[in-house]
Structure 1
Amino acid sequence: MEAVMKLNGVLNGIVWGPWMLALLVGTGIYLTLILGFPQVRYFVLMFREVFGNIGKKKEGEGAISSFAALSTALASTVGTGNIAGVATALHLGGPGALFWMLISAVFGMTTKMCEVTLAVRFREKDSIGNWRGGTMYILDKGAGQKWLAWLFALFAFLASFGIGCAVQANSTAEGFFLGFGIPHMWSGIVVAILTALVIVGGLKRISDVTTYLVPFMAIFYIIGSVIVIAVHASAVPAAISSAIKYAFSDPMAMPGAVAGWTVKLALTKGIARGVFSNEAGLGSAPMVHATAIVDHPVRQGMYGLFEVFTDTIIICSLTALTIITSGVLTGQPELSGAQLTLSAFRSVLGGTGTVILSIGLALFAFSTILGWYWYSETAGAYIFGPKVIPILKGLWIVFIFLGAAGGTLLGDASSFLTNLWDLSDTLNGLMAAPNLVALLLLSNELRRLVKDFDAKRKSGELQ
C-alpha cells in the first residue's frame, strides 16, 4: 500500500498540478472566446430555461426531463467538495483561494455547457434501449478516437467507486456520527439499503429521487449558511476584500495568517477544489445530461451553465463566506476540511449548527452516491456491455458499506480515509485529459451547434 500511495502521489501532482489546472481553465477561456461568452449571453435564458420549464412536457428524444437530468447531475456535483473541499482550499491557500475558485467557475460554466452539448449531440441507445452519452461517445463517434474513449471510460469507471461511492459513503456516515453519534457501520448498512432501493429502478427512479432531494438539501444548506453570514454581516465587506487582495498579494501579510499561505497555493488550491466540486472539465455530468428529452443539444447546455453556477458560485461561495466572516479560518488554524466549516456554523448556531451541517453533509454525500452510480453504469456498459449492470449494482452496494465502515473495521480510520481520498482524487483528475482533448478537437462542431441554436431561436423555429 505504501508503494501504491507513493506512485499515486506522483500521479496526483501531475493531474492536479499547475499544467493540468492551466489546461482546464485555459480550455474554458478558449471556448468562452470562440463561442462569444455564452455564460453572459445565455445568463437570463439559463434561468428561464431551468425554472420556466419545470413540469412541462418537452418534445425531442431522450429518457428523462431536462430538469430531472440537471437534478441528477447536481446530486453528483453538490457534495463533500462544497463543504470539506472549500474549507480545505481556504485552510491551505487562505482567503485568496475563494477568488480563484470563482474565476475558474466562470469559465467552467462554458466548459460544462460544451460538454453537455456534445454529449447530447453524439448520444445513442445501447443494445437494451437505454440512452447513453458522455465523453467516451464524443471521442468515439465525434472525434474518431476510440482508444481515448475507452481510456476515459476506464478512468471514469474506476473513479466512480472511490469519489462517487466509498468516499461519499464515508462522508455520509461521518455526518451522522458528528451530528447524532450514530456508529459508522450502522450508517453504512442503512445507506447501502436505501441506495439499493433506488438504483434497482434504474435512471428513472434515480432522477425521481434526486428531483425532490436536491432542491430540498440545497435550500436547507443555503438557509443555514445565510443565517451564519447574516450574523457576521459586518465582516462580509472585509471578507470579500481579503479574497480579492490576497489572491494577488502575499497572504502572509494578513493579520492572523496561517503559516504556509502563498499566492501560488491560493491559486492552485482554489482552482483545484473548485473543479473538484463542480466537475467542469472532468466529463462526468454529461453522462446523465445525455439522457434528457430535449429539442436541441445547446438547450441542454443551458442546464450545464446553471449546474456550475449553483454548485460553485452560490453554494461554495456561501461555505467560504461562513468560514471567513466567522473568524475561524485564522482563529482556529488547526482545523481543516469539514471541521472548519462545522466550527463556523457552531459559532452562530451552536448545537443546531452541528445538526444542520451534519444533515447537509450526509444528504450531499448520499445524493452524490446516486448520481455517480449512473456514471459508473454508463462507463461500465461502454467497456463491458449492458450485461455488467447487475454485477455493477452489487459491487456498488458493497463499496458503500466498505466506504462507510471500512475505517472502523480496519482499525485505522484516519489512514484509510486519507488513502481513499488521495486515490479517488487522482482517478477523478485523470478523467480530465481525454475530456479536454474531446472539447478541443470538436470546438468547430461546438461553434456550429451554437450558431445553429442562435439562428433557430432568432427565426422562431426554437423558443
Structure 2
Amino acid sequence: MPDFFSFINEILWGSVMIYLLLGAGCWFTWRTGFVQFRYIRQFGKSLKNSISPQPGGLTSFQALCTSLAARIGSGNLAGVALAIAAGGAGAVFWMWVSAIIGMATSFAECSLAQLYKERDSKGQFRGGPAWYMARGLGMRWMGVLFAIFLLIAYGLIFNSVQANSVSRALTFAFDVPPLFSGIALAIASLLVIVGGIKGVARLMQWFVPIMALLWVGCSIVICLWHIGQIPEIIVTIVKSALGWQEAAAGAAGYTLSQAIASGFQRGMFSNEAGMGSTPNAAASAASWPPHPAAQGIVQMIGVLGDTLIICTASAMIILLAGNGTTYIPMEGIQLMQKAMVTLTGEWGAGFVAFIVILFAFSSIVANYIYAENNLVFLKLDNVRVIWLLRIATVSTVVGGTLVSFPLVWQLADIIMACMAITNLTAILLLSPVVHTIASDYLRQRKLGVRPEFDPRRYPDIRQQLAPDSWDETPRE
C-alpha cells in the first residue's frame, strides 16, 4: 500500500502540482499587478489596522494568527528536514520561491473568501473556497466536493501528521510511549476546540507569536554562533537549487527536479498557499479597512512569515549541523533533533520536542476550526455532527502516533493535492474578480482615501454576494 501511495505522489507532485502551483502563482502575480511586491511596504500598516475590532467577525489579526496556527506545524520542522533529505540544500531555495509566488495566490484566495463571506445563525462571518465556488461560480457541487476534501484533510489526516511528529520527538528525547503522548495531545486539543472559532482565535492571537519567536530566536542565536558558515551555506543553497553542483558535497547526486519537487511540496504543506485552507480563516474576519483586498494583504504576511522566516530558521539548523544526508535513515523530526543536538548538546532534542508540541497543538486546533467551518457550508453544523467531528479529530490524534511515518506523509500529500487542484481551478476561473478587487483597492489607495468596497460599482458581483455582507460596511 505505501508503494501505491508513493506512485500516486510521484505523479501528482512530479509534474501536475509543480506546474499548476507555478502557473497559478505567476498568473495571479501578473493579474494583481505584482501585489506581493507592490504592497510589501503596506505590511506594517496592514498589521496595525488588523487589530481593530469590528462587529460581526474576528479581527484581521486574530484571523491571521488562526491561519498561522494551522500553517506553523510539524511541516516547519519535520517537513523542512524531509525536504533537505530528499532534495538537498537546493530544496530550501525552491521553498522560498514557492512562498514568494504563493503570496499572490494567497492574496487571490483570501480576497475571494472575504468577498463571498456570509453570516451564520450567530452573526459570525463564515466563508472559504466552498462559498466562493457556490456563489462566485454558481457551482455548489464543487463547493461540496472541496468541503469533503477539507474535512478529510483537516479533520483527520493532517492531525495524524502533527501527532506523529510529536510522538516521535518525545520518544527520541525522553522515551515517552507514543500512545501516552497522543492521549495527552488529544485531551489538550479537545479542551480548546470546544470553545469554537472565537475562543480559538482569542487564544491563538498571543500563543502563535510567542511560539514562533521562541523557535526563530533560537535559530538566530545558533546562526550568530556559527556566523562564519552562513555565507557558504547560502551559496550552497543557491548553487544546488540551480543545478550548479551536487548538494551536500557530492555525497548524494540530487537532481534539479528533486530539489524543485521537494521544495514546492514541503513549502506548500507549510505555507498552504493555494490549498484553500487559509481562506476559511480569512473569511471569518471583519476586515479593516472594509475591503476584501485588505484581508488578502494581511494573509500574505502569513505566507512570508511561515516559509521565509520560520522554515528558513529550521533549514539553517539542519544545514549548519553538517551534511543532511548523514541522517537520512532518521525520520523527519528526529533528523531535526539530531541536528540540534550536534549544534547545542543533548538539551537540543528536548527543546525541539517542546517546540514541536507547541506547533502541533496549534495546528490541530486550527485544523479543527477549518473542518467545523465547512460543516456550516454543508448545513451539518448541529450539535450531534459537531461532536462526531470532535471525537474523530481527537481519535486521529491518538491514532497518528501509532501509524507508520511514510504512510502518514504520503496520505497528507495526496489529500493536499486534491484540495489544491480543486481550489486552484476555482480561483483561476474567478481571476477576473480577483483582478477587479485588486484594481479597486489600488485605485482608492492612489486617490489617497481609505479603501472601502462598494458592491454597487460592480452589479455583476453584487448579485452573487450574501445579503448584508458588504452593503452595510462599518464606518469610522
TM-score by length of structure 2 reads 0.89
Is 1:22 aligned to residue 19 of structure 2?
A: yes
Residue type at the aligned position of 1:171: S
Indicate if the aligned counterparts of 2:56 and 2:123 stay in contact, CA closer than 8 A.
no
Deviation larger for 436-445 or 418-427: 418-427
Is 1:459 aligned to residue 455 of structure 2?
A: no
Partner Cα distance (2:350, 2:326) in 1:
22
- The corresponding residue for 2:307 is 312
Q: Provide, for residues 1-34 of structure 1, a one-character-per-residue CA deviation record: whole Å limited to 9, x for no partner.
A: x3xx454334323332312211111101111012
Partner Cα distance (2:237, 2:411) in 1:
30
Equivalent of residue 200 in structure 1, options 173, 183, 194: 194
| Gap change, CA 1:93 and 1:417, over 3 Å in 2 | closer
Indicate if the aligned counterparts of 2:168 and 2:334 stay in contact, CA closer than 8 A.
no
Equivalent of residue 324 in structure 1, options 313, 319, 327: 319
Correspondences of 1:411-430 after superposition (within 5 Å)? 416-430=404-418
Partner Cα distance (1:334, 1:233) in 2:
29
| Gap change, CA 1:325 and 1:180, over 3 Å in 2 | same
Residue type at the aligned position of 2:12: V
- The corresponding residue for 2:162 is 168
Correspondences of 1:51-450 after superposition (within 5 Å)? 52-53=48-49, 55-57=51-53, 59=54, 62-127=56-121, 129-249=123-243, 251-252=245-246, 254=247, 256-294=249-287, 295-387=290-382, 388-404=385-401, 407=402, 416-450=404-438
Secondary structure (helix, strand or coil) at the match of 1:431 reads: helix
More helix by percentage = 1
Q: Provide, for residues 378-414 of structure 1, a one-character-per-residue CA deviation record: whole Å limited to 9, x for no partner.
A: 223323521222321222222222223xx2xxxxx5x
Partner Cα distance (1:77, 1:370) in 2:
11
Shift of residue 56 of structure 1?
A: 3.2
Residue type at the aligned position of 2:333: A
Structure 1 residues not aligned, in runs of 5+: 408-412
The alignment-based identity, stated in percent, is 36
Residue type at the aligned position of 2:395: V
| Gap change, CA 1:22 and 1:231, over 3 Å in 2 | same
Indicate if the aligned counterparts of 1:76 and 1:372 stay in contact, CA closer than 8 A.
yes
| Gap change, CA 1:363 and 1:48, over 3 Å in 2 | same
Shift of residue 437 of structure 1?
A: 1.0
| Gap change, CA 1:326 and 1:443, over 3 Å in 2 | same
Deviation larger for 312-321 or 326-335: 326-335
Residue type at the aligned position of 2:309: I
- The corresponding residue for 2:472 is none
| Gap change, CA 1:255 and 1:268, over 3 Å in 2 | closer
Residue type at the aligned position of 2:286: I
Shift of residue 166 of structure 1?
A: 2.0
Residue type at the aligned position of 1:401: V
Secondary structure (helix, strand or coil) at the match of 1:17 reads: helix
Shift of residue 434 of structure 1?
A: 1.3
Residue type at the aligned position of 1:288: A
Partner Cα distance (1:326, 1:171) in 2:
20
Shift of residue 202 of structure 1?
A: 0.3
Shift of residue 361 of structure 1?
A: 1.0
- The corresponding residue for 2:474 is none
Shift of residue 181 of structure 1?
A: 3.1
Residue type at the aligned position of 2:408: L
- The corresponding residue for 1:410 is none
| Gap change, CA 1:337 and 1:169, over 3 Å in 2 | closer
- The corresponding residue for 2:456 is none
Indicate if the aligned counterparts of 2:155 and 2:389 stay in contact, CA closer than 8 A.
no
* RMSD of equivalent CA atoms: 1.9
Shift of residue 260 of structure 1?
A: 4.2
TM-score by length of structure 1 reads 0.91
Shift of residue 330 of structure 1?
A: 4.8
Indicate if the aligned counterparts of 2:166 and 2:356 stay in contact, CA closer than 8 A.
yes
| Gap change, CA 1:15 and 1:124, over 3 Å in 2 | farther
Indicate if the aligned counterparts of 1:224 and 1:356 stay in contact, CA closer than 8 A.
no
Partner Cα distance (2:158, 2:243) in 1:
36
Secondary structure (helix, strand or coil) at the match of 2:276 reads: coil
Partner Cα distance (1:99, 1:14) in 2:
22
Structure 2 residues not aligned, in runs of 5+: 452-476
Residue type at the aligned position of 2:115: R
Indicate if the aligned counterparts of 1:21 and 1:271 stay in contact, CA closer than 8 A.
yes
Count of aligned pairs between the two proteins: 447
Q: Provide, for residues 237-296 of structure 1, a one-character-per-residue CA deviation record: whole Å limited to 9, x for no partner.
A: 1111111111122543x5633334111101111111111110111000110110001111
- The corresponding residue for 2:459 is none
